[in-house]
Chains A and B, each alone.
Chain A
Amino acid sequence: MQKNIKIYSILFLAASLSFTACKKDYGNLNNATVEDLSKNASQSELNNLVSGTESGMRNALNFYLDDVSIIGRETYRFSGSEPRYVLDLLGANSAQLTGDNFYISFPWAAKYKVVKNCNLLIQIAGNSSLITDAQKKGYIGFARTIKAYQLLLNLNLTYTNGIRVNVADPNHLGPIVDYNAGLTAITALLDSAKNDLSTATVSFPLAGFAGLDDAAGLTKFNRALAARVSLYQKNWQTALDDLNASFFRLTTNFNTGAYHMFGTGSGDQLNPVFIPQNQTGEVRVAHPSYAADIATGDDRINKTSLRTSPAALSGLSSDRDVWLYTSSTAPVGIIRNEELILIYAEANIQLNNFVEGVKAINVIRNGHGLGNYAGAVTQPALITEMLNQRRYSLFFEGHRWIDLRRYDLLNTLPLDRPDDDVWSLFPLPVTEH
């Protein structure tokens, strides 16, 4: 027995020793981590970050477009399960926009997630010794351009409530800056990206940048965005200069530009703003004024389609579906030549170059089945015409609300119910304070 005990005790001690030696760290079994990539990322890993960035730009796109289009009275979003589209966003009764709701928190967070990815791409590309300096510049130029674009979309929503620009360190976020400072920072980012791209080699694939996917092309895309920002800053001449360096063409190639692409591949996304015609329950319809105000013969009526029966909710109704995207994989424009033509028109009108302004407006009108502009050639009249063309050309692409805000014309938007309101800006998400 004593002998057995010795054996037992030796076994037991051996077991407990081997046991205490056994500690495990399984690492992350599911996905790549920031720590892994920060060490020395390869070109293919960096390319994955680029594709993730391009892909991530599509997240919450539907919320952004619905926000801007509903307040801008371009569309209604009727949802049996989500009353806030017809209550809060339209200011029904005493409803207000608040910072704890999806309509601001989802798009805001989605854009900043892409900003974070861009910041990581800049940092990780900077740390990599496996790529050339020119390649590095390519990644950084792309990242800065996209970062600027994402910041601009958030600033469009929160307007004078501002945005946070310096967000690289999650534990020490920079201050919230006001609208003008935000635009200045975005311009500066775009300019530094342009500078990066001037000596860059682009060694990564892009999905929605057909014809713009090399360093020169990305520079053109960068300048197109810069033109939009210059417009918001009322820097009319700068806007024209930016257009010159962009893919702007005063022709009817309206759809040249950069796009969000969609697909059915694994891990890919479907177009989040596609809803088939004549749905019930979940529908997106054009505001009745879209068809009521459109000029006869304007082919842009086809951006909507007549429903077999009207859709109605909460005292609102419409008989036309939004039919801008006709399939679940239809691309959504980031910036297109049609917008650049209208920027050209606007900047020229503002600079009193009415001839160039009217010329651009006529390119748009003729391209959509309308005759030449025949109204008064005065700045106010041309601005009205230009805004009207922007309304129809850029329908449901996120512009009308911002345009009317720029011209202090939000009070001209129709109120469908007695107690409705037109908001001029979104509050910051509550979690941002």
Chain B
Amino acid sequence: MRKNLHHLLIWLFMVIFPISLFAQNRTVTGTVTAGNNAPVPGATIVVKNTSQAVASDGNGKFTISVAENADLIISAIGYKTQTIHVSGNSLQITLAEDVSRLDEVVVTGLSTTVKRKNLSNAVSVIGAKELSGTAPAQTFDSALEGKIPGANINSNSGSPGGGVSVKLRGVTSVYGNTQPLYVVDGVYLDNTATSGGLNAVTQAGATGTTSTQDNPSSRIADLRAEDIENIEILKGASAAAIYGSKASGGVIIITTKRGKQGKTNISLSQDIGFLRPIKLLGVRQFTAETAGSLSRDPATSAALTSQFTAAQSKGEIYDYEKEIYDHTPFTRNTVLSMSGGNEKTGFYFSVAQKDENGLVQRTGYDNTSVRLNVDHKVSDNIKLGLSTNYVNSSADRGLFGNDNAGVTTGIALSSTPDFAQLHPDAKGDYPNNPFAASNPLQTIALMQNNESVNRFIMGANLDVILQKSNRSNTKFVGRGGFDFYNLQTNVLFPSVLQFEAINKGESIQGSTKNLNTNYILSLVNTFTPSDKISLTTSAGITQETGDYNNLLDVATQVISGQSNVDQAGALNATQLRTKYLNSGIFIQEEASIVNAVTLTGGLRLDRSSNNGDVSKYYYYPKAGISWNLTDMGIVKQGLFESIKLRAAYGQANNVPAYGSKFTAFGVSNISGFPGLLINTQEGQADIKPERQTEFETGIDFSLLKGRLGFELTYYKKNISDFLLLTTPPPSSGFAQEWQNAGNLTNSGIELGMNARPVESKNIVWNTSIGFWLNRSKVTKLNVPPVQLGSVGGVLLGEYQIEQGKSATQIIGLNGTGVGVLGNAEPRFQMNTYNEVTFFNKLSLRFLIHWKYGGQNVDVTQLQNVFGGTSVDYDKPTASGLPYGVTQLMKVGSDAHQTVETSTYLRFREIGLYYTFKNLPVSYVKSVTVGASLNNYITITKYKGYDPEVSNFGTGFSQGIDIDPYPSNKRAALHVSFNF
């Protein structure tokens, strides 16, 4: 194969012809406007068959020098591309709005693009306005929520600093990576969640310093949404095969803003706002009698009763839930951006600073980001683009979630009644909480759980035209970059904390360095033998590396007031490294026939140092066809603006986790003797990547000159040899073993509609509606059913991977035994994004998201029942027993009460903006003011804080709800000045 490839590369050079340059002898000026005579800034004007291009300025004006009889191609995002013949020296170009977005350019290869109307996949695109222009979210990842048809996106918790799980078209892996690959301007971003070591205190996972339940943020949250021009989402292998071994979770391609030729544009925007809790659960109102009933021991019961009466007489009854969560913290965000350029060089520069407090005292998030994107034309044939981004972010996340030590805020609150006395005395000393292992007020006031990141991302993009003739055009495209960050985690529990009686103070300091690099070198040839046919051939090589190094020091018996790990009586250090190198070769051929039929075929070969066989190439083919019936002339343009049939097929894979091929020893020391103890994980020397095969087909059509467009898609994904950490019999000495354990399928539909129901001189209403659903099934499993995501096993509900069943089923006790109680997969989801513009100045935008069906394992409310503090504990029931008691009686025989439907209808974003133009001061072009609400209205019957929750992180086990940081809703005022 390798040899053949080289033949092919040589062939590519055979078709190269010398470049012939056009004579330039005429200067023309022009104005680009939209239908309503508003200027279109940033439109690209290209002289046909040349690389000569300019952009329109803020007033839509441009100047270009062209040859006699030249044609100009004018394109702008959101408008239909137009080709005009140059006649005269002054041009007036009116662009038609591309309501159905047929002319939008979409990435289809590693170095090629295609117009949407010729696309064989359903690729979702999110523009800047939808991403951050309505009601900005705290972090980039949460800004995606509810916006991608075919995706199941879920916040992990309300902790400041993000942490969102994104699953495109169902679960694509069980134990492998389920998250998509994020590519920013050609750089593959690292999205590792690094634990700060909270497990050392919470013991939420069985052993060790870290667990998946430590609620770390996701590193993708570091990005600033304001810098992003658009996002393209390749949802499965049929679109993403060319990304090979990292693409099985889909690929999210992020393009940041770039400078365009023209007057320098400066924009300063300022947001201020506040957060509120979405919901509080409420607390039980105790009476002397119910206080006494907390214990069945007569003496204890009497003591509790007298405690209650004493507290009541002093007026010392507190709603601690309110006291801890019911705050209105302040948020602010400032963004200054500049963009501009001349014919050779363009730049985009931004500096942004965000500071948000959290609902809980001493938590919060801040992020400072600087971006500089520079594009430079070395010559007519050589273009260089650089993207650089520095981010400094810091999140104080508090102590929340699952816990087996009674220390997290929610768990401690669950057993603390309203007559408990937790407030500090006059000296500031907090009393011990007799009802739990910790005093949450003390914990919040004194502990620290901070993640701070310094991150530098740099990408470079080199386009060299090697050859150009009337029929053939060959270029070299090189893309690459690196993503480096240093993450410090700082977790501190001073010795005075109630639960530090044994460890006498803990300081857990983590330091993580991560460097990812990647490059793509490719040759792209476009061969146009006639007007009717065009062939684009691309071929190249890729390489990705990752090097992750995490040091975690757990110091105990920390000297009072100190946090350095050496200021301690004992120190326990761990280090974790992972390193990989993936390399690939790809070739892709796209053929466009009479501009109506597009055929795509591609092949990627990939190998990875994580595979059992490091030298073996795995191959991933893809193929696609799109057939535009209107462009073909089969259906006359009229009612239909465009009808397109499309089908695509592709394969991608997911490499095994680092180290899954080794059976290793862990360190287990005793009395100063270094010890080696076998790890719980048995290695699989011949581990293979899991392979995904996806087929999708659909029909896209637009009516009424594009005012109404539909996109209907069906897909089926087969994941074969999926990676599973199986549970061998523990008597083998191993608790886990990596296996390529079986096959699963996902199939689903995605329906999209774009419409412009109202288009008048003064009012324009654009709307889009999405509907999507996914169903999964485990078609083969070589091992006995495997349970995951267990908080309390079948007692409370857990996931079970089982042949013939949905991959996301939740099983549990059903009253007569163990049965299926639910499924994390929603029955369907819908969203609608709307923008209504009045008089071209006032804009109302809103996004509504409806998730119907799907269950969570909601332990939060039951935890309060266990602790005797649930708000409806004393509610009378038909049986005469209080409601709380009836709930407790079900535990052990019926888990229906914890496997809870998480349907919700959420007004994700509402924004109202007004733009002032024609201002009295000439140097201010426009001022926009606005107000926005984010996640402000949620309609749900769900009993926990938020139906959108996933306390076990971004892996497979979504929707576990166990005393998370309560979710917030956001309100903000915005003002931005354009200079």
Contacts and interface: CB of A to CB of B under 8 A. Distances in A.
B562 interface: no
A328 B504 CA distance: 11
A32 B434 CA distance: 46
Nearest to B733: A116
Which one of A13, A23, A114 has the greatest number of beta carbons of chain B within 10 Å? A23
Interface stretch (B68-76, B77-85, B670-678): B670-678
Interface in A69-92: 79-84, 87-88, 92
Nearest to B203: A81
Contact of A431 (B543, B573, B727): B727
B467 A5 contact: yes
B576 to A, nearest CB: 6
A363 B9 CA distance: 92
B893 A51 contact: no
Given A109-B735, A431-B729, A432-B731, A280 B675 contact: no
A163 B572 contact: no
Contacts of A79: 404, 406
B203 to A, nearest CB: 9
Given A93-B892, A112-B730, A432-B731, A312 B295 contact: yes
Contact of B678 (A51, A113, A208): A113
A109 B730 contact: yes
Contacts of B787: 100
A173 B732 contact: yes
A108 B730 contact: yes
Given A16-B9, A87-B891, A432-B730, A55 B675 contact: yes
Nearest to B403: A81
Interface string A139-171: 000000000000000000000000110010010
Given A31-B667, A80-B411, A276-B501, A19 B731 contact: no
Nearest to A58: B670
Contact of B729 (A25, A30, A432): A432
Nearest to A288: B297
B446 interface: no
Contacts of B541: 15-16, 19
B793 interface: yes
Contacts of B523: 12
Contacts, number: 311
B665 interface: yes
Contacts of A34: 663-665, 678, 683
Contact of B433 (A13, A106, A267, A281): A281
A119 B665 contact: no
Given A31-B665, A267-B674, A23 B730 contact: no
B432 A280 contact: yes
A340 to B, nearest CB: 24
Contacts of A431: 727-730, 784
Contacts of B437: 80-81, 279-282
Contact of A24 (B415, B571, B614): B614
Interface string B219-261: 0000000000000000000000000000000000000000000
A184 interface: no
Contact of B577 (A30, A55, A115, A312): A30
Given A112-B732, A113-B677, A5 B466 contact: yes
Nearest to B893: A94
A53 interface: yes
Interface stretch (A257-265, A372-380, A392-400, A405-413): A257-265
Interface string A45-68: 101111111111011000000000
Interface string A362-404: 0000000000000000000000000000000000000000000
B733 A113 contact: yes
A52 B665 contact: yes
A270 interface: yes
Interface string B144-183: 0000000000000000000000000000000000000000
Contacts of A275: 502
A87 B9 contact: no
A30 B676 CA distance: 13
A289 interface: no
B206 A54 contact: no
Nearest to B794: A100
B405 interface: yes
Which one of A30, A47, A79, A92 has the greatest number of beta carbons of chain B within 10 Å? A30
Interface in B677-725: 677-680, 682-683
Interface string B292-310: 0001110110010000000
B673 A47 contact: yes
B665 A33 contact: yes
B675 A264 contact: no
A322 to B, nearest CB: 14
A370 B249 CA distance: 71
Nearest to B672: A265
Contacts of B735: 109, 113
Given A25-B609, A431-B730, A81 B411 contact: yes
A48 B573 CA distance: 18
Interface residues of A, number: 104
Interface stretch (B13-21, B283-291, B769-777): B13-21
Contacts of A112: 730-733
Contact of B299 (A33, A270, A310): A310
B590 to A, nearest CB: 21
B406 A282 contact: yes
A170 B676 contact: no
B577 A24 contact: no
A280 B794 CA distance: 28
Nearest to B671: A207
A217 to B, nearest CB: 17
Given A19-B583, A317-B296, A164 B556 contact: no
Contact of B730 (A13, A53, A105): A105
Contacts of B672: 263, 265, 268
B473 interface: no
A23 B866 CA distance: 55
A28 interface: yes
A167 B732 CA distance: 6
Given A56-B675, A93-B889, A116-B678, A28 B733 contact: no
Given A19-B541, A170-B682, A279-B501, A315 B296 contact: yes
Contacts of B18: 1-2
A94 B673 contact: no
A333 interface: no
Interface in B191-220: 206-207
B620 interface: no
Contacts of A269: 670
Interface string B494-516: 00000101110000000000000
A236 interface: no
A317 B436 contact: no
A276 B502 contact: yes
Interface in A289-318: 309-310, 312, 314-317
A53 B675 contact: yes
A307 to B, nearest CB: 11
Given A79-B406, A265-B669, A268-B671, 12 more contacts: A23-B607, A25-B609, A26-B609, A93-B889, A101-B793, A117-B677, A167-B731, A264-B557, A280-B435, A281-B435, A328-B503, A433-B729
27 contacts: A8-B466, A8-B476, A12-B523, A23-B615, A24-B614, A33-B664, A47-B673, A48-B676, A49-B676, A50-B675, A52-B678, A55-B668, A79-B404, A80-B435, A82-B404, A100-B794, A117-B678, A170-B728, A173-B729, A264-B557, A267-B572, A268-B671, A270-B502, A281-B412, A310-B297, A317-B295, A317-B297
Interface of B: 2, 5-6, 9-10, 13, 16, 18-19, 206-207, 295-297, 299-300, 303, 403-406, 411-412, 414-415, 432-438, 466-467, 476, 499, 501-503, 521, 523, 541, 543, 556-557, 569-573, 575-581, 583, 585, 607, 609, 614-615, 659, 662-680, 682-683, 727-735, 737, 784, 787, 792-795, 866-867, 889, 891-893
